[in-house]
Amino acid sequence: KITDIEKKRGQKRRRLLATIEDKNGNSFQTILDYVFILGDAEPYISLPEVD
C-alpha cells in the first residue's frame, strides 16, 4: 500500500516520491511515475516470492 506521497523541491521532472509498504512492513520509495495500483484494500494479483 502507498503510505506517503511527498513533493521534492528543485527537481524539474518526477517531483513526486511515493513510499510503499509491503505486507511484511518493509518500506520502499520510488517516483510516483513508476507506481501502478492494482486493488483497493487487497491486491488483485500476487507475485512469486524470491528466495
pLDDT digits (tens, 9 = 90+) for 1-48: 889 999 887 666 668 899 999 888 999 999 888 988 888 877 788 878
- Domain region containing 8: 2-34
49 within a domain of the structure (yes/no) = no
DSSP string, 1-51: -EEEEEEPTT-SS--EEEEEE-TTS-EEEEEGGG-----SSS-S---PPP-
Amino acid 51: pLDDT: 75
Does the pTM of the predicted model rise above 0.75?
Answer: no
Query: Based on the structure, what is the number of domains in the chain?
Result: 1
CA dihedral sign, ordered 45, 21, 6, 40: positive
Note the pLDDT of residue 19: 96
User: What is the model's pLDDT at position 11?
Assistant: 63
- Write the pLDDT tens digit of every residue in 36-49: 888 887 778 887 88
* Domain assignment present for 18: yes
- Can you read off the three cell numbers belonging to residue 25? 512492513
